[in-house]
């Protein structure tokens, strides 16, 4: 297969390891601290996870590790959306395992959790591994969004483990997938299955983090990739001085990506979903906020600018969230029943039908939306009939509604500018990029560290690498019990134990930095141009972590 020059160069990059993971694996010992409790609902979680709840926080240091040289068979599972660095987590596990005992085996579950249920594996050999080191994507073994929760699937997994003499599973996933890792670990303990389960924190969304997990991998590379593109657009806007660019950024729920990209590029306006929710802003207020910045810049003769919009914004606006929830229910109900709505073809007829089936407040929000968005709400639904929020083109919605507001203000003599707007959506552009040096090093360390946790006999833990705002020489390693990060949340009307998602904290330093500077950024064009990710060169150019991490940890 032909390869690009960067591909070839990256295959030979040697990721930097923290001091605790250097040297002989038999000298990497795991020390255990005091027992832990979950962040909330302690009683309920203890009864749901009687065999794994309360495990101590672990740290990796110098000492004797008798399990490190044992011959083992481990399985890696990639779960959920792609995130740069997944292949390096696998490389870290692989190298640790082989260093401990060259006869050990690593298997990759094909296509994510489903591969584990069906017993479909790819044997990871040296040659196979070497073709994926330091590369983006999950194409090495594939990923999937299945969960292993149903009793019959759990039984199948146990049969697969026994048939293949598997000693442990590394789950590489986000909050949901690692919640599933905790369920598996508990099930194995309860059913006297010897295999253990260790998770690694993955998601570009950056919402799997807490005291022990400083960042999820992939966030760094994805944000740097989007920031390069945003910086280029800022420069184009500032050169041509004729367009407003409205850019939606991935992040299913939390606005971390949008916030980080704002810190890296200093656009004129950044909407943060969590702030909109906290202020209980209406859609009209959000639109007026955008139109207000456009009008203010127009007064200075600047009919151009850049606005960042998080993917999850729409659901954070309380009235739109309420509309989507009721609409999903009504349409799903119709789909399962008479399919009256499904048979209507004109938008007018659909709106009339919904006028009769929705609460008046939700119906009037629906009526206020541009026709294209109304159509999207009805068309883009999942197999259960639910509205697929991530497919709604919020950036276009904002443009259309800002246009309306500016037209009104112009008719009242309050606005004399020109609003020519272009929409963008950046998501898939960043999920499979070559991992930055930070992600390459971080992921390799997470994987290697996961192996050390296995060798010490731990189960139900997330691999944790800390002090990542500092150079790798100062990173520390350990493990955090997954149950410690859990609470009960309502899912489909029932309480479910889940890892708590980390949303943007409005009193946190990253958001406070944005808040302090945003008025200046709105009126003055103080854009920053981060440029492309650099892989070779001075550390201050190549090895810097995200601004979020620097602000949060320093
Ligand atoms: P994970 O949480 O699984 O890492 O995925 C995150 C994400 O990239 C979101 O930002 C985005 O909303 C979603 O996946 C899109 O996923 P898909 O392409 O499967 O629709």
Domain definitions of the chain by residue range: 16-218+435-499, 220-430+507-553
Same fold, 16-218+435-499 and 220-430+507-553: yes
| Ligand 1 mean position, distance from CA 94 (Å) | 26
pLDDT tier at 384, thresholds 50, 70, 90:
low
Instruction: Look up 175 and say whether it is catalytic.
Output: no
| Ligand 1 mean position, distance from CA 204 (Å) | 8
Burial 374-405 (b: 16+ CB within 10 A, else e): bebbbeebeeebbbebbebbbbbbbbbbbbeb
pTM over 0.75: yes
- CATH architecture for segment(s) 16-218+435-499: 3-Layer(aba) Sandwich (3.40)
Three-state DSSP state, 223: helix
Mean pLDDT of 107-119: 97
pLDDT > 90: percent of the chain: 89
Mutate to test the pocket of ligand 1, among 202, 252, 383, 394 (most ligand atoms within 8 A of CB): 252
DSSP-derived secondary structure for 324-355: HHHHHHHHHHHHHTT-TGGG--SHHHHHHHHH
pLDDT tier at 383, thresholds 50, 70, 90:
low
Q: Is the pLDDT of residue 114 over 70?
A: yes
Residue with tokens 């299945």: 146
pLDDT, position 385:
65
| Atom nearest to 250 CA in ligand 1 | 10
Atom 10 of ligand 1, nearest CA residue: 251
Q: Is the pLDDT of residue 406 over 80?
A: yes
**Average predicted confidence (pLDDT) for the chain:** 95
Contact 207, 269 (CB under 8 A): no
Contact 201, 208 (CB under 8 A): yes
Mutate to test the pocket of ligand 1, among 171, 389, 390, 432 (most ligand atoms within 8 A of CB): 390
Atom 12 of ligand 1, nearest CA residue: 252
Q: Is the pLDDT of residue 70 over 90?
A: yes
pLDDT, position 222:
98
| Atom nearest to 251 CA in ligand 1 | 10
| Ligand 1 mean position, distance from CA 143 (Å) | 12
pLDDT, position 59:
98
pLDDT, position 329:
87
Other Cβ atoms closer than 10 A to 346: 8
Three-state DSSP state, 71: coil
**What does each C-alpha distance from 49 to 2, 44, 113, 185 come to in angstroms?**
49, 9, 21, 9
Atom 13 of ligand 1, nearest CA residue: 252
Q: How far apart are CA 510 and CA 257, in angstroms?
A: 11
pLDDT tens digits, residue range 218-271? Answer: 999 999 999 999 999 999 999 999 999 999 999 989 999 999 999 999 999 999
> Which residue, 352, 242, 253, is CA-closest to 302?
242
Mutate to test the pocket of ligand 1, among 145, 250, 253 (most ligand atoms within 8 A of CB): 250
pLDDT tens digits, residue range 11-62? Answer: 999 999 999 999 999 999 999 999 999 999 999 999 999 999 999 999 999 9
Tokens matching residue 311: 């993917």
Q: Is the pLDDT of residue 542 over 90?
A: yes
Atom 5 of ligand 1, nearest CA residue: 81
Atom 18 of ligand 1, nearest CA residue: 81
For residue 466, what are the β-bridge partners? Answer: 476
Q: How far apart are CA 477 and CA 447, in angstroms?
A: 11
| Atom nearest to 82 CA in ligand 1 | 4
Q: Is the pLDDT of residue 432 over 90?
A: yes
Mean pLDDT of 361-390: 83
Which residues line ligand 1 at a C-beta cut-off of 6 Å? Answer: 80-81, 83, 174, 203-205, 250-252, 311, 390, 431
| Ligand 1 mean position, distance from CA 151 (Å) | 26
| Atom nearest to 177 CA in ligand 1 | 3
Atom 15 of ligand 1, nearest CA residue: 81
Which of the following is catalytic: 205, 207, 439, 543? 205
| Ligand 1 mean position, distance from CA 323 (Å) | 23
pLDDT tier at 500, thresholds 50, 70, 90:
very high
Mean pLDDT of 175-204: 96
Query: Rounded to 5, what percent of the chain is helix, strand, coil?
Result: 50, 15, 35
| Ligand 1 mean position, distance from CA 144 (Å) | 11
pLDDT > 70: percent of the chain: 98
Mean pLDDT of 333-347: 87
| Ligand 1 mean position, distance from CA 252 (Å) | 6
| Atom nearest to 252 CA in ligand 1 | 12
Contact 168, 74 (CB under 8 A): yes
Atom 16 of ligand 1, nearest CA residue: 81
Atom 11 of ligand 1, nearest CA residue: 252
- Which stretch of 273-282, 376-385, 393-402 has the lowest confidence by average pLDDT? 376-385
| Ligand 1 mean position, distance from CA 274 (Å) | 19
CATH of domain 220-430+507-553: 3.40.50.460
pLDDT tier at 342, thresholds 50, 70, 90:
confident
Higher pLDDT, 387 or 112: 112
């Amino acid at each position: 297969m032909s390869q690009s020059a960067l591909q070839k160069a990256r295959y030979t990059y040697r990721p930097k390891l923290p001091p605790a993971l250097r040297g002989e694996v038999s000298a990497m010992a795991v020390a255990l601290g005091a027992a832990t409790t979950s962040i909330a609902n302690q009683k309920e979680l203890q009864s749901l996870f009687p065999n794994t709840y309360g495990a101590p926080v672990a740290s990796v240091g110098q000492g004797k590790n008798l399990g490190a040289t044992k011959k083992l068979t481990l399985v890696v599972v990639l779960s959920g959306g792609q995130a740069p660095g997944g292949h390096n987590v696998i490389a870290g596990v692989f190298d640790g395992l082989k260093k401990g005992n060259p006869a050990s085996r690593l298997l990759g579950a094909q296509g994510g959790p489903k591969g584990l249920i069906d017993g479909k594996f790819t044997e990871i050999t040296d040659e196979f591994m070497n073709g994926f080191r330091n590369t983006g994507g999950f194409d090495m073994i594939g990923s999937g969004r299945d969960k292993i929760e149903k009793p019959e699937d759990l039984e199948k997994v146990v049969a697969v483990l026994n048939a293949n003499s598997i000693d442990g599973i590394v789950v590489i996933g986000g909050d949901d997938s690692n919640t599933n890792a905790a369920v598996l670990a508990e099930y194995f303990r309860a059913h006297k299955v010897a295999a253990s389960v260790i998770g690694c924190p993955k998601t570009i969304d950056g919402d799997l983090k807490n005291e022990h997990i400083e960042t999820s991998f992939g966030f760094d590379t994805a944000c740097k990739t989007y920031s390069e593109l945003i910086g280029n657009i800022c420069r184009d806007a500032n050169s041509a001085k004729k367009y407003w660019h409205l850019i939606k950024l991935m992040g299913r729920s939390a606005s971390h990506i949008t916030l980080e990209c704002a810190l890296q590029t200093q656009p004129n306006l950044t909407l943060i979903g969590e702030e909109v929710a906290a202020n209980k802003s209406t859609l009209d207020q959000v639109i007026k906020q955008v139109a207000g910045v456009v009008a203010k810049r127009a007064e200075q003769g600047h009919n151009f600018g850049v606005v960042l919009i998080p993917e999850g914004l729409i659901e954070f606006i309380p009235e739109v969230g309420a509309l989507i929830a009721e609409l999903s229910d009504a349409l799903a109900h119709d789909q399962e029943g008479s399919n009256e709505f499904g048979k209507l073809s004109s938008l007018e007829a659909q709106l009339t039908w919904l006028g009769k089936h929705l609460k008046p407040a939700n119906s009037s929000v629906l009526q206020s939306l541009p026709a294209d968005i109304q159509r999207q709400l009805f068309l883009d639904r999942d197999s259960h009939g639910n509205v697929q929020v991530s497919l709604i083109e919020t950036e276009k919605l904002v443009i259309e509604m800002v246009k309306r507001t500016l037209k009104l203000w112009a008719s009242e003599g309050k606005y004399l500018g020109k609003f020519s707007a272009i929409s963008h959506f950046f998501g898939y552009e960043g999920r499979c990029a070559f991992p930055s040096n930070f992600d390459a090093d971080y992921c390799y360390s997470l994987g290697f560290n996961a192996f050390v946790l296995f060798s010490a006999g731990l189960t139900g833990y997330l691999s944790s690498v800390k002090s990542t705002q500092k150079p790798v020489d100062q990173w520390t390693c350990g493990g955090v019990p997954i149950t410690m990060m859990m609470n009960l949340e309502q899912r489909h009307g029932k309480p479910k134990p889940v890892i708590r998602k980390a949303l943007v904290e409005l009193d946190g330093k990253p958001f406070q930095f944005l808040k302090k500077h945003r008025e200046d950024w709105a009126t003055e064009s103080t854009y920053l141009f981060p440029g492309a990710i650099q892989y070779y060169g001075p550390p201050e150019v190549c090895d810097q972590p995200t601004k979020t991490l620097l602000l949060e940890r320093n």
